[in-house]
Structure 1
Amino acid sequence: MKKLFIAIALLVFTQNVSAQLFTKEKVQNLQNFDKPRFSWGYILGLNFYDFNFDYTADRLDPDVLHNESIGFSVGLLGNMRINDYLDLRLEPMVTFNTRTLTFDNPLFSENFEREREVKSTYVHVPLLLKISTKRINNIKPFIIGGVSTSLNLSSNADNPDDNSSGEFRMKNNTNYYEIGFGIDLYLYYFKFTPSIRGVFAMNDELVPDNDPNSPWTSTIDKMSTRGVFLNFTFQ
């Protein structure tokens, strides 16, 4: 009987704890925050850019190695509410990042021939559709996706010098598709939203060298950016 009593007491206690954690309603912060048609905010974040290389048929083995680094982003948010579950968002931002490329070519014997530091400053403008769940107390998970375009202010696209002079060149404009997820946290004074998003370029970004037989770019058929954004939004 004693063991049965303890078992029943533990079961009741467990059910009470479960009810407290998962079913009990809490006081909602910012109850009318999402009601206006338009809202604004700002974004701080980290970015992780990478390159994806496709090679020509006469070169099957990768000959460009890339070393990525973490950059940072800053931007603004414009949000248009469609209904309780759909929002259209414009998130213009400036992103900064540096990538190092190493060309694995037996013709190169010195580091200044092999290595190129690619510093990128992008004006990045995504147009995104946010699909949210029903708000649960003070949280609201969501998925997000859309398209974006960017202007690379450090592209060197119009530079007449190429890799033979130590200059790595990229195109000015790139188009992407994006997909990710996040969670809205309704705090006492403001809404805080951490999110993570994958960014994938749709076009070739490489400006080939002037020499069609260049040991740096002749074997590259397409070079496109891939990236991960970790954003923190404040509204």
Structure 2
Amino acid sequence: MKKIAVVLILICASMQANAQLFTKEKIRNRENVDKKRWSWGYYLGFNNYGFKIDYIDQNEIDVTRNIGFNVGLVGNLRVNDYIDIRLEPGVVFANRNLEFPNLTETFEREREVKSSYVHIPLLIKFSSKRINNFKPFLVGGASVSHNLSSNENNPNDNSAGEFRMKTNVANLEVGFGIDFYFEYFKFTPSIRGIFAITDELVQDNDPNSPWTSEIDSMKSRGLFINFTFQ
């Protein structure tokens, strides 16, 4: 009975603490920061890029996803208390490894795909009502990525060790995060999914290439974890 009583007391205390967290009024940091028509900031973060591969016939390519790095700026246009339009231009460094397990030993089975994207998303941010010093939100929109590491126009292909990718990519993006209001700045951690809608693969010159002939399309899939300061 004593153990049950202790558990009930802890549960009640936890419920009371949670109730105070969401209902008790606290001193609001930077109370008017979201009232500005325009606001600016910057972000740092990490990414994890892979590929969605559609095959012509049954085939399989192993994609190894590696951790990359993001950095960029934020321009925010306030529409009302709950909607903002954001432009977040930045640079994204991504790295993926491809393995072709079905190739014979005559051919190279591994390719490293390094990408340096100039990434420009236009997003709509849907925020909840601010609760004391934090405010959750959802975000979604579209983006374009210009791959500075693209070798789209390289005449050499996989037969010469070059896995070619297109320069420009269109994407859809969706994610969520939380605005935290501190005394001197607003800090926002967020998670966002990136879904390319255009094919990025440049087919090899040989239509029967063992590397690309069985691939119908190859589109990036990425996960961003960003930390924004405003």
TM-score (norm 2): 0.92
Q: Distance in 1 between matches of 2:37 and 2:163?
A: 45
Q: Distance in 2 between matches of 1:73 and 1:18?
A: 35
Q: Deviations over 1:160-212 (max 9, x none)?
A: 00000000100000000000000000001000000000000001100000000
* Kept after mapping to 1: 8 A contact 2:103/2:109: no
1:125 aligns with 2:123: no
Instruction: Name the Cα RMSD after superposition.
Output: 1.9
Structure 1 residue matching 2:22: 3-state secondary structure: helix
2:98 aligns with: 101
Amino acid of the structure 2 residue aligned with 1:187: F
Q: Distance in 2 between matches of 1:223 and 1:17?
A: 49
Instruction: From 168, 174, 182, give the equivalent of 1:179.
Output: 174
Q: Distance in 1 between matches of 2:74 and 2:16?
A: 41
2:110 aligns with: 115
Q: Distance in 1 between matches of 2:18 and 2:189?
A: 27
Q: Distance in 1 between matches of 2:194 and 2:21?
A: 36
User: Structure 1 vs Structure 2: percent identity of aligned residues?
Assistant: 62
2:66 aligns with: 69
1:142 aligns with 2:137: yes
2:51 aligns with: 51
In structure 1, runs of 5+ residues without a counterpart are: 1-5
Q: What pairs up with 1:1-235 in 2 under 5 angstroms?
A: 14=13, 17=17, 19-56=19-56, 59-62=57-60, 64-109=61-106, 113-235=108-230
Size of the aligned set, in residue pairs, is 223
In structure 2, runs of 5+ residues without a counterpart are: none
Q: Distance in 1 between matches of 2:172 and 2:210?
A: 31
